[in-house]
């Protein structure tokens, strides 16, 4: 059951309030089993209904909803749990985690949010824009706070006001891409390139926002952006074939549907000797040539620390503006470069946060 704010703020009343308070039973989601997966690391709740001992610290139950299954979002989740632990809220000690993955399905995301709200969790974490939107649409009718991460444009997603202030009991972190630094990097690696291809999901507002910024900045570096919108993963093979025939290279966004199908795009691009640039470290590991990207573990940690403040009653979500990680780093893959007949400039390689010499399977 949901702990009242009195448990968090009034030490003198905590023992009596906690004595009869039990936690909801763990469930990955009420969503269909084929669309939802439960994290094997989520803690068992078989003993969760036992009341804490008198004087014990408060314990929490949170629902983590992840929109799709791919490396960057997985890293966000891992970092989020680490951030909570660093703040003294640790799974297996005073934290129970309910976790579900929507497998890039909007309807399933809504079902997951509904399940978490029905279990009256202490806080929901929404990983990626569609999940955060689904959670907030449910949470705004309750008193459950939402902390999001990997939301590229919280304002466009209507999760924050134009000045960065929360629209309600919701806040978190943005993974806004360092687009100008990415364009600078592509120009340095491919001095003769003219056209950059970008594939994106038309229903993801974060992708539309990034496309607009790419188109605004591309002429400054002598590029033209050629974009291809898709509505689902089923559209990707044909869209990739069409796009590859029109461009000198492809750059990825943090578009959830596209990233989940990145191996298909990489295979088709490689067959035509077209470089593909990533937006973060995991994409470079699996076959993108390079990226000026973010560290999603660190982004998750930053989000977990924000969530800890809310859980402990140190601040309300509505009192904290959303935050952005500003430090981007260069990541490169020398095996991909060799396969493409490209030499990564020493100016980039020497300052890389990490270089890979194999393509992860």
Q: Provide CB contacts within 8 A for 164, sequence distance 6+.
A: 155, 321, 322
- Strands (E) across 121-179 are located at 123-127, 146-149, 170-174
Q: Using DSSP, state whether 108 is helix, strand or coil.
A: helix
Question: Quick count: other Cβ atoms within 10 Å of Cβ 14?
Answer: 20
pLDDT digits 0-9 by tens, 84-140 = 999 999 999 999 999 999 998 999 999 999 999 999 999 999 999 999 999 999 998
Cβ atoms of 95 and 58 within 8 Å: the answer is no
CA distance 307 to 135: 15
Instruction: Give the pair of three-digit tokens for residue 314.
Output: 């140190």
Task: Write down the pTM of the prediction.
Answer: 0.73
Least Cα distance to 143 among 341, 12, 269, 317 occurs for: 317
Write the burial class of residue 272 (CB in 10 Å: 0-12 exposed, 13-18 middle, 19+ buried): exposed
10-residue mean pLDDT series, the chain (361 residues): 37 35 35 36 37 56 94 94 98 97 94 95 96 94 95 93 96 94 97 97 87 97 97 94 97 90 96 96 94 91 97 97 87 97 96 95 79
Q: Using alpha carbons, list the distances in angstroms from residue 92 to 4, 13, 71, 301.
A: 21, 25, 24, 18
Distance CA 181, CA 112 (A): 36
Share of the chain above pLDDT 70, in %: 84
pLDDT single digits (tens) 202-243: 988 888 889 999 999 999 999 999 999 999 999 999 999 999
């Amino acid at each position: 059951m949901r702990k009242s704010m009195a448990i968090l703020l009034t030490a003198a009343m905590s023992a009596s309030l906690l004595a009869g308070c039990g936690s909801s039973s763990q469930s990955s989601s009420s969503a269909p089993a084929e669309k939802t997966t439960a994290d094997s690391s989520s803690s068992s709740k078989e003993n969760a209904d036992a009341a804490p001992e008198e004087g014990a610290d408060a314990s929490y139950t949170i629902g983590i909803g992840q929109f799709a299954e791919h490396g960057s979002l997985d890293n966000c989740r891992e970092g989020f749990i680490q951030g909570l632990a660093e703040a003294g809220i640790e799974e297996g000690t005073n934290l129970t985690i309910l976790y579900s993955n929507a497998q890039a399905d909007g309807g399933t995301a809504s079902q997951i949010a509904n399940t978490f709200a029905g279990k009256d969790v202490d806080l929901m974490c929404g990983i990626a824009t569609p999940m955060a939107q689904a959670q907030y649409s449910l949470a705004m009718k309750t008193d459950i706070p939402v902390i999001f991460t990997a939301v590229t444009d919280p304002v466009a997603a209507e999760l924050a006001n134009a000045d960065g202030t929360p629209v309600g009991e919701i806040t978190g972190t943005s993974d806004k891409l360092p687009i100008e630094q990415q364009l600078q990097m592509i120009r340095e690696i491919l001095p003769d390139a003219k056209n950059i291809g970008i594939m994106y999901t038309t229903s993801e507002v974060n992708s539309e926002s990034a496309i607009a910024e790419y188109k605004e900045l591309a002429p400054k570096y002598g590029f033209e952006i050629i974009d291809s919108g898709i509505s689902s993963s089923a559209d990707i093979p044909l869209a990739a074939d069409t796009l590859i025939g029109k461009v000198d290279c492809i750059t990825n966004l943090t578009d959830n549907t596209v990233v989940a199908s990145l191996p298909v795009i990489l295979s088709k691009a490689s067959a035509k000797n077209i470089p593909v640039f990533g937006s973060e470290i995991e994409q470079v590991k699996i076959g993108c040539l390079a990226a000026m990207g973010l560290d999603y573990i660190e982004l998750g940690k930053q989000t977990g620390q924000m969530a800890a403040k809310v859980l402990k009653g140190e601040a309300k979500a509505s009192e904290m503006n959303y935050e952005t990680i500003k430090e981007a780093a260069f990541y490169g893959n020398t095996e991909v470069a060799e396969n493409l007949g490209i030499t990564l400039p020493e100016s980039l390689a020497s300052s890389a946060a990490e270089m890979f010499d194999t393509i992860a399977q």
